[in-house]
Structure 1
Amino acid sequence: WQSQPRKVALGEPSVRTAVARPARPAPHLPLFPQPEGVRVSVNVLSDQNDRPVLFVVRQKEAVVSFQVPLILRGLYQRKYAYQEVSRTLCQPQTKAEVETQHFYVDVSTLSLNTSYQLRVTRVENFVLHVATVAATGPFFPQYFKYEFPEEVDSVIVKVTSAMAFPCSVISIQDILCPVYDLDNNVAFIGMYQTMTKKAAITVQKKDFPSHSFYVVVVVKTEDEACGGVPQSATPTEGLSWLCTAEAYVRSVLFCLGIFLSFYILTLLIAGWLRGSADGLGLAAGERSLENVAGRPRLDSLSSVEEDDYDTLADIDYDKNVIRTKQYLCVADLARKDKRVLRKKYQIYFWNIATIAVFYALPVIQLVITYQTVVNVTGNQDICYYNFLCAHPLGNLSAFNNILSNLGYVLLGLLFLLIILQREINYNRALLRNDAHALECGIPKHFGLFYAMGTALMMEGLLSACYHVCPNYTNFQFDTSFMYMIAGLCMLKLYQKRHPDINASAYSAYACLALVIFFSVVGVVFGKGNTAFWIVFSVIHIVATLLLSTQLYYMGRWKLDSGILRRILHVLYTDCVRQCSGPMYVDRMVLLVMGNIINWSLAAYGLIVRPNDFASYLLAIGICNLLLYFAFYIIMKLRSGERIKLIPLLCIISTSVVWGFALFFFFQGLSTWQKTPAESREHNRDCILLDFFDDHDIWHFLSSIAMFGSFLVLLTLDDDLDCVQRDKIYVF
């Protein structure tokens, strides 16, 4: 066993080739001022892997040791040996501005005759502003130092590469010795991310007592950790200052200003409409000269049940007769007591409020745990942020993504206030026995509207929770109430013309729960699973057929053992025997188009098997909603009805806003379907106020578009408020 120490002045450049036997120390060369980086590079020229050479670098406050060949392990315990190793020496804090520091290199080996080359060089631009890093492998880790200026509280460390960089780890560590700069220990302390082309880490001054930190770049032994086998390249490191406290305040005020302006605009429009005697509520009813001396109190709903009615035997017969008429009027499907229907639809609101509480509490607890794990471990591969535009606040890593969801909550609350005012006006009209309220227009039921407003607020809350730590396991938080909103909007459209036969809250929410169940199963098990896609496609097609039958016959059919026999009988008598057309042509056209679209979506899912199953499922719901809405508009115009100015303006403006919103949605700043390193290749800088990114703008615009869509549903049939219900067609 042979060993020799070498004494080297810290910072002096030298190159020495030697044989492993005692040698004299290298001569001292002129020093350059602190703080400068010093690298020790070793290349063992003899190929003796069974007798490695051990190098121990001893210096003030730190000891760095490594053997050559350097053995590192990758996935599945695969070993990699490197004959050349280069390490940057730690820079301990010094009291004097210029202080001569020395370090000793001890070389030991069992080999009797091994040649090696020892090189000590200065690291250019060790104090980081912008640096070009030529990291060629795990044996060549590098790190640089950054010192916070007095006026800067936080910075973003950006690492970019024009080409795909070898799978690497970018780590932020405090100025302490030793520095963890190997593939097998770089994740021990500090914050870190994997990268191929891009990485960005937000660093706050308060987290580093010395107001400085190291930026460590380590190439991993294998590229599988980043999802591929990229080519070599030269990355560039840089820093950009984050927003100041004033910028945070400005961004918050910007959000509040945008959405509170809708409150002001609503008040102005409501005042103008009230002054012009055409208000959002039942203005026509409020203007009635039909003064009734007595003002009867609205009956209590506590003892009213749907089973209290329809108890006579001829009621079912009456339903069959009415619902098989070729041309139905709203009066034919609004025969139940208004108290029964009011209670039935209020359950929608109370049920969704209960669901919201029980759903949101564990979600909030879970994302707080996620954020805590990220902060404690420093592993920034857990969450898929847009790191190039992530502004932290307190323990939150991306406050801007959370703040931009404020619109859903504020506009959802505004919609609830609008519905409340409408209901108050309607109840006042009922109290004075207003004829328009009692006999005219689409029957007013507000429970579904309250449920829609609540769902919009919950979408904002759960989207904010998702963006606390967006990743593969919690994406359903962001989409669950989107399914709710799509389902409730379709139910509201159907309820307008079919108040007596619309689905109950229990069955509707049970179906939505089934949709969310499939969403979770699809996210977890759907990727590349042929059996899952076959089962889902079959269920999708069968559910479409059953719903089509329910809509076509308006609930006057039974799902029992004789259903197949009755279907064959109808096909024989109507199609084969006499070739008669469908009795309800309009409904048949809608349902045929709906089945074509849904079968096409099922075929697309079965063939393509998209990775993002949750978005695919949401697309199915949105396509069906848009189809039904278009059918409703067309049939409304065909029936001789008109669209008033306010709903027309809402339709046009909402369509425009939806177009811009979808543009920003499809920008794709991150994606949890890929590895964290591949996801960061999509990261982009802020585009609004240097604080908000493309996805934040999607939040702004989509919340406004959803609010506008709700207003369309609310005001679409205001032209019928003075039309008798037996003159309003059902479609």
Structure 2
Amino acid sequence: MAPYGAHYSLEVTRLKSFELGTNSPFKFKASPSEPQYFLYKFPPDVDSVVIKVVSEAVYPCSVVSIQDIVCPVYDLDHNVEFNGVYQSMTKQAAITVQKKDFLGEQFFVVFVIKPEDYACGGSVPSSIQDKANHTWNLQRMKTLEVTVVPSIQESVYVNAILFSFLSFFSFYLGSLVVAFVHYVRSRKKSSSGSVSPDDGTGTVTSSHPITVNTTEGSSYGAIDESSPSGGQQLSSLGHKATCGSDTDSSVEEESDFDTMPEIESDKNVIRTKVFLYLSDLSRKDRRIVSKKYKIYFWNIITIAVFYALPVIQLVITYQTVVNVTGNQDICYYNFLCAHPLGVLSAFNNILSNVGHVLLGFLFLLIVLRRDVLHRRSLETKDLCTMEYGIPKHFGLFYAMGIALMMEGVLSACYHVCPNYSNFQFDTSFMYMIAGLCMLKLYQTRHPDINASAYSAYASFAVVICLAVLGVVFGKNAVWFWVLFSIVHVVASLGLSTQIYYMGRFKIDLGIFQRAFMVLYTDCIQQCSRPMYMDRMVLLVVGNLVNWSFAIFGLVYRPKDFASYLLGIFICNLLLYLAFYVIMKETPAESREKNRPCILLGFFDDHDVWHFLSATALFFSFLVLLTLDDDLDSVRRDRIPVF
């Protein structure tokens, strides 16, 4: 590849060290015109070994190949990929080799230095660059050190599998203990007498127009709209089952509520109040609202099946291609801690996702238990359940549990053959988890106006389409980043308008015109302060954060679009949660970041991340599930909406 003639000399020498030993580092030099290869024979007690190669220099780019003992030996740049398995390498490489793959129980380790560095991440082929500079480096020499070490024993596999399953089954045991303790305490409380419910002021009262309807599917909110008096008349509580031992027979004062019943029949009138309470936004029939949220559960199961099956088929094809061609540059494994099992190249990365599946299923069981107890309370017409605390709807929780399980399944699929193209498999249900958590947070105090399952999943579909476009075009296409930034900003404004006006603005092409007219009239012409200050503060902060993300993406155009998009979702989720509580590279370059196993000699740091993230998501879901348990004894007309 030299642009002009070069002088060379040919020298033939006898190799003194041709056979590699076990656990014996061997250092040597190689160049494009001087490839090296060595022999390794399996000891009788070793069934699998790891070939570890290191170099202090990043370049020149090199290739490590494991080949069977055949002639000829493929040790040239243009044919090194014809036989065996191979990896490109800059500073380090590692290949696991099993005795069963070689009939003679021996193999060649071949080292080839490439004449240019483009395959390892160089900007342009060196021949083109050197022609421009009128120079040519004939001494592309690289010093390498190779060590052959035995792989882990079968007992390590068994210990790792037991550790993975027993660790997460301990959560099941802990849940059983907590459920038993809760059962004992509830039995003691029922035998000693219940504590009276709180009306938000520390006293037991019924001085608010809340009607207790004894019919199936009663309005569990503030007003019984079917009542002739428009919800002004209180039901007699003396002959009904109440959640406390005390009842109040005080007479309702006329000044305590509006005497015009028709004003309570229009949601657009109710939701314009400056101070909203939960009873204002929980007026729809309980059964209708519950069915609405159960659609989330059934839809996500359908999505999971139709999404996961093609993914599984695709990654199986990827793994087959890797095994047949021997090209280990297709998948980005941590080769220093990649333990194969059967046809899988990195079984440990797949096994470590078992926590998402087991904890997701446990979360479903916990939600199911709460759902059953809640339904029993409704059947007994319990006043606490029907008129106090946050309305219980479990459809979104079921969907979150399925999403957590599917995250484990799709993460395992991604780790069958990790690469930039299929990273979207690992992130798709992460987007859904973040989105469902945000919807659940909003639903707790806005049960009547939350998004429908169809519109929510349609939005997730748009996000996943953008993620695919980002993978395909996001690296260099300026038009894509301009389009994505516009969509991001417009979506943020549209959603902000919907949240600020409590769902009273119809989402269509005229939403921004109507919002502009309201903004112009209230803020510019009349110079008045925002009517809903708390909502305005949240939305201003949220829009500033999202616009910052849009500007960052437009200016810097990050290479990993999937992670960038996931960061937007997680940041918005954490932002809303805080408000609620208070108020990869080329294969060779990737291999430079390979690290040894850190847990049980089997799991790497990413596997530990799988364990910890599954646990963190599980406990985060429990936080959302129990976030408002302290309001179970507070009347809904005393719970503020924000």
Deviations 1:136-155 (A, max 9, x none): 42221111111112222211
Out of 375, 381, 386, the residue aligned to residue 334 of structure 2 is 386
Taking a change above 3 Å as real, the CA distance of residues 394 and 298 of structure 1, as seen in their structure-2 partners, is farther
Find the counterpart in structure 1 of residue 157 from structure 2: 248
Find the counterpart in structure 2 of residue 161 from structure 1: 55
SS of equivalent residue, structure 1 residue 187: helix
Letter in 2 for 1:239: V
Out of 388, 408, 417, the residue aligned to residue 469 of structure 1 is 417
Find the counterpart in structure 2 of residue 206 from structure 1: 100
Q: Distance in 2 between matches of 1:285 and 1:450?
A: 33
Find the counterpart in structure 2 of residue 701 from structure 1: 612
| Between 154-163 and 118-127, the greater mean CA deviation after superposition | 118-127
2:35 is the alignment partner of 1:126? no
2:151 is the alignment partner of 1:218? no
- 1:271 offset after TM fit, Å? 1.4
Find the counterpart in structure 1 of residue 353 from structure 2: 405
SS of equivalent residue, structure 2 residue 612: helix
Find the counterpart in structure 2 of residue 197 from structure 1: 91
Q: Distance in 2 between matches of 1:359 and 1:572?
A: 45
TM-score by length of 2: 0.84
- 1:131 offset after TM fit, Å? 4.8
Find the counterpart in structure 2 of residue 428 from structure 1: 376
**1:565-604 alignment runs, 5 A limit:** 565-604=513-552
Q: 1:442·1:496 contact (CA, 8 Å) conserved in 2?
A: yes
Taking a change above 3 Å as real, the CA distance of residues 472 and 83 of structure 1, as seen in their structure-2 partners, is farther
**1:291-306 alignment runs, 5 A limit:** none
Q: 1:164·1:233 contact (CA, 8 Å) conserved in 2?
A: no
Deviations 1:439-484 (A, max 9, x none): 1111110100000000000000000000000012111000000000
Find the counterpart in structure 1 of residue 391 from structure 2: 443
Find the counterpart in structure 1 of residue 248 from structure 2: none
- 1:132 offset after TM fit, Å? 4.0
Q: Distance in 2 between matches of 1:372 and 1:589?
A: 54
Q: Distance in 2 between matches of 1:448 and 1:318?
A: 27
Q: Distance in 2 between matches of 1:360 and 1:82?
A: 56
Larger Rg, first or second structure (1 or 2)? 1
2:624 is the alignment partner of 1:713? yes
- 1:692 offset after TM fit, Å? 0.7
**1:129-528 alignment runs, 5 A limit:** 129=22, 130-228=24-122, 232-277=141-186, 318-528=266-476
Deviations 1:292-323 (A, max 9, x none): xxxx99779xxxxxxxx9xxxx8997111110
Find the counterpart in structure 2 of residue 725 from structure 1: 636
- 1:567 offset after TM fit, Å? 3.6
Q: 2:355·2:408 contact (CA, 8 Å) conserved in 1?
A: yes
Out of 657, 670, 686, the residue aligned to residue 597 of structure 2 is 686
- 1:211 offset after TM fit, Å? 1.4
Taking a change above 3 Å as real, the CA distance of residues 406 and 578 of structure 1, as seen in their structure-2 partners, is same
Taking a change above 3 Å as real, the CA distance of residues 407 and 555 of structure 1, as seen in their structure-2 partners, is same
Q: Distance in 2 between matches of 1:612 and 1:479?
A: 12
**1:527-542 alignment runs, 5 A limit:** 527-542=475-490
Taking a change above 3 Å as real, the CA distance of residues 485 and 125 of structure 1, as seen in their structure-2 partners, is same
Taking a change above 3 Å as real, the CA distance of residues 574 and 633 of structure 1, as seen in their structure-2 partners, is same
Deviations 1:70-91 (A, max 9, x none): xxx7xxxx9898765xxxxxxx
SS of equivalent residue, structure 1 residue 478: helix
Letter in 1 for 2:13: V
Tell me which stretches of 4 or more aligned residues in structure 1 moved more than 6 Å: 78-83, 283-290, 296-300, 314-317
Point out the structure with the larger helix share: 2
Q: 2:19·2:39 contact (CA, 8 Å) conserved in 1?
A: yes
Q: Distance in 2 between matches of 1:149 and 1:287?
A: 75
SS of equivalent residue, structure 1 residue 491: helix
- 1:158 offset after TM fit, Å? 0.5
- 1:540 offset after TM fit, Å? 0.6
- 1:128 offset after TM fit, Å? 3.8
SS of equivalent residue, structure 1 residue 121: coil
Q: Distance in 2 between matches of 1:80 and 1:137?
A: 19
Q: 2:319·2:344 contact (CA, 8 Å) conserved in 1?
A: yes
Deviations 1:243-295 (A, max 9, x none): 1110000000111121111111111112122222399xxx98998699xxxxx
Q: Distance in 1 between matches of 2:574 and 2:567?
A: 10
- 1:331 offset after TM fit, Å? 1.1
Q: Distance in 2 between matches of 1:286 and 1:379?
A: 71
- 1:545 offset after TM fit, Å? 0.5
SS of equivalent residue, structure 1 residue 580: coil
Find the counterpart in structure 2 of residue 39 from structure 1: none
Taking a change above 3 Å as real, the CA distance of residues 79 and 205 of structure 1, as seen in their structure-2 partners, is farther
Q: Distance in 1 between matches of 2:4 and 2:148?
A: 33
Taking a change above 3 Å as real, the CA distance of residues 286 and 489 of structure 1, as seen in their structure-2 partners, is farther
SS of equivalent residue, structure 2 residue 81: coil
Q: Distance in 2 between matches of 1:278 and 1:519?
A: 51
SS of equivalent residue, structure 2 residue 506: coil
- 1:577 offset after TM fit, Å? 3.1
Q: Distance in 2 between matches of 1:688 and 1:79?
A: 51
Q: 1:154·1:241 contact (CA, 8 Å) conserved in 2?
A: yes
Letter in 2 for 1:357: V
SS of equivalent residue, structure 1 residue 574: helix
Q: 1:284·1:436 contact (CA, 8 Å) conserved in 2?
A: no
State the identity %.
63
Q: 1:196·1:681 contact (CA, 8 Å) conserved in 2?
A: yes
Letter in 2 for 1:259: F
Q: 1:285·1:437 contact (CA, 8 Å) conserved in 2?
A: no
Letter in 2 for 1:268: V
Taking a change above 3 Å as real, the CA distance of residues 698 and 82 of structure 1, as seen in their structure-2 partners, is farther
Letter in 1 for 2:121: G
Q: Distance in 2 between matches of 1:583 and 1:210?
A: 82
- 1:723 offset after TM fit, Å? 1.2
Q: 1:148·1:212 contact (CA, 8 Å) conserved in 2?
A: yes
Out of 614, 620, 626, the residue aligned to residue 562 of structure 2 is 614
Aligned residues: 568
Task: Flag structure 1 segments of 5+ consecutive residues without an equivalent.
Answer: 1-72, 85-115, 291-295, 301-308, 636-670
TM-score by length of 1: 0.74
Find the counterpart in structure 2 of residue 101 from structure 1: none
Q: 2:31·2:142 contact (CA, 8 Å) conserved in 1?
A: no
